[in-house]
Amino acid sequence: MKLKKAYSMAGLGWNSQYDELAKISKAYNDAPIAFSRTGHETIQEELEKRGLSCITFNEQGQNKTNFVNRLEGICEGEGMMQVLDDGSEVNTTVINQHCDYSRISHGKNFTFGNVNEPHDDFVSCSYIAAQAISTPDEARPAMGLLMGMRV
């Protein structure tokens, strides 16, 4: 999985983000928009109003852990995930978010997230994108490190 272009929509309102996604989808031959959902968001409805097709992934229950485990396995595979770093601020953010992403223990429970970075949006995008990659099925427990990403 090679990250060639990262888009930051920080500071844009919801409608502006939906419009930007429509432009990006059009630029990539009407590519479907894949995203995760945790509840009853209206994201899909708003995207479909703009003529976009959607692929949704439910993050509830054990699903997020499975997504993170899969991404971690891809990061550990030689050359399976690469960020083509152009030195831009957005790519620096992508790298920092991935390097900071951890499994955080709360007694017997745990969550995933960043420790020092304020957001983990690019990691979420990566584990959703990783769902489209075919890899051998091998159960690996999450170790809490995504440091295998190549820059």
Q: How many other CB atoms are found less than 10 A from the CB of residue 16? A: 11
Whether residue 95 contacts residue 149, with contact meaning beta carbons closer than 8 Å, is answered with yes
How would you write the pLDDT of the chain (151 residues) with one tens digit per residue? 666 678 888 899 999 999 999 999 999 999 999 998 887 678 899 999 999 999 999 988 889 889 998 888 888 775 677 777 888 888 889 889 988 998 888 888 888 888 898 888 889 988 998 887 765 555 555 555 555 555 5
pTM: 0.76
Q: Could you tell me the two tokens for 3? A: 């990250």
Q: What are phi and psi of 37, to 5 degrees?
A: -135, 150
> What pLDDT sits at residue 136?
57
Q: Measured between alpha carbons, how far is 115 from 46 in angstroms, rounded to an integer? A: 32
CB neighbour class for 17 (10 Å; exposed up to 12, middle 13-18, buried from 19):
middle
> What pLDDT sits at residue 75?
80
> What pLDDT sits at residue 45?
92
Query: For the chain, first and last CA: distance in Å?
Result: 12
> What pLDDT sits at residue 47?
94
Q: Measured between alpha carbons, how far is 29 from 125 in angstroms, rounded to an integer? A: 20
> What pLDDT sits at residue 31?
92
> What pLDDT sits at residue 59?
87
> What pLDDT sits at residue 57?
92
> What pLDDT sits at residue 115?
87
> What pLDDT sits at residue 139?
54
> What pLDDT sits at residue 49?
93
Q: How many other CB atoms are found less than 10 A from the CB of residue 22? A: 17
